[in-house]
Amino acid sequence: MPSGKDPAAALSAFTEWCESQSLKPIIFGCEAPDRGALKDWALTEIGRQPLFIAGPSYSPRRSGPDQPLQNRELRRQARRALSKKLEVSEIGVASLWEFAQSGSLDDMLYYCWKRRGLADFGFLVEFNISMGLNKRRTFVVRKPNGETCGICFLVPSDRGWLLEHQLLTPDAPNGTGELLMCSLLLRYLQPGERLSLGVTPLFSELTKEAANPSAPEILSFVPAPLRDRVLSLWEPLYGFRSLLNFRQKLEPMEWESVYWAVPKRRTLQDILAVLGAFAGGSFVRFGLDTLEKHMQVLGRRLAPRVLPALNRFYIATLALWIPILWNLDGVQLFGNPLACKVWALYDVLLVVLFLFHQRVVKKLYPSLLTKLLLGLVVADTVLAWLQTGLYHGGFPTSQPLGTLIFLINTAPVSAFCYLVLVDFAVKPLPFMRREQGRP
């Protein structure tokens, strides 16, 4: 939302600039106080943000029949974490940098990243640890042995604080997130300060709670049965309902609507424009990034055991095949009796490279060796198919050893698929590339 001493003037200046650039303005993330300045704009409800007011009622120590009715479940879950002797503390920039350099933060980011079905959004939600350090506050949860099992980041907003990110380790005890929340609202924020967890998308659609008629929800134009079907299909990709369910358990003081605003509503065009912004400007690129993400997750899941075993398998297979190929004196490849021996030497080169490649798949680091092997295996596959098609009559064939040679020549395809998977597995993850300033 354009801001300044005169919000109306700032909004007018923003609109004029958009017109001068032949752009259609959309203001994303408008809140209740902005509605006055946007009285002539069309609003669409994105979702609602859960709001909490800091105060002593969030103390996990308060239990029993005399405790406040509000946030009982939140305090109960926080007590479960306290029983494990977890401690919450605020850390400075130096400690955060040291924590990031240890690799623990990357592990938390990866655990969070791989659970989402879609690629990273390119609008509003990117996380970069090096940005906003002078304003961001960082809090960690530690086990009794000093190991960090949770971290969260607060950034200031116009009316209080926003919980920018909360990350937990896979082995974080139950109630870790709730203990973080209670600690923030009890100890680290001033009484009366407001804390927002950020927008919960599609709140009205999921809860079937009617939105304000003057600001309809995003899917208001979709018939109810079809809307439910769409939400079910989207759930594995983003987890709208699971996010809502978790936040409802925290019992916020209020659910406040968050909107986008346009001078004139064009429902489908507006939705496509917003989705396009989240997709980074290209739906095709976003789809490819999502496919790449699933390949990276699969590659890393197979990395500890399967990928090293496959690498050893190709070494053993080539080692067995090389002497056979060297001694095939009666079979001409490409019409040349020496071709078998040349091809055997080529496979010796592949064996040597696969031996060096074993360290790559064991340590899982990017290497030009993977790409070199990939290129050589592609060449091997193409030459093998040409040999089969030109000199052994294709498949099926009546040529001597034709069927056997065809089957052998299709083997490099599996090596190609394996190397592609390794290439995805060793590629730096998106949040690592952002920290390194890479696209």
- Please state, in angstroms and rounded to a whole number, the distance separating the CA atoms of residues 78 and 34: 35
Return the C-alpha torsion angle 103, 104, 106, 109, nearest 10: 180
Is pLDDT at 1 greater than 80 in this prediction?
Answer: no
- Please state, in angstroms and rounded to a whole number, the distance separating the CA atoms of residues 301 and 149: 22
pTM: 0.80
Average pLDDT over residues 402-423: 76
For CA atoms 14, 19, 20, 23, give the dihedral sign: positive
- Please state, in angstroms and rounded to a whole number, the distance separating the CA atoms of residues 152 and 163: 7
Report long-range pairs for 99-106 (Cβ below 8 Å, ≥24 apart).
Answer: 99/140, 99/148, 99/151, 100/129, 104/148, 105/129, 105/151, 105/167, 106/429, 106/431, 106/432
Give the DSSP H/E element, type plus range, for residue 46. Answer: strand 42-53
Over pLDDT 70: what percentage of the chain?
Answer: 86
Q: What is the mean pLDDT of the chain?
A: 84
Residues 162-204 pLDDT 10s:
998 899 999 999 999 999 999 999 999 999 999 999 999 989 8
Residue from 106, 167, 104 nearest 139 by CA: 167
> How, if at all, do strands 148-157 and 42-53 pair?
unpaired
Domain range summary for the chain, segments of one domain joined by +: 7-281, 299-435
Six-digit token string for 391? 């000199």
Quote the pLDDT of residue 436. 47
> pLDDT band for position 438 (50/70/90)?
very low
Residues 130-164 pLDDT 10s:
666 678 899 999 999 999 999 999 998 888 999 98
- Please state, in angstroms and rounded to a whole number, the distance separating the CA atoms of residues 279 and 119: 9
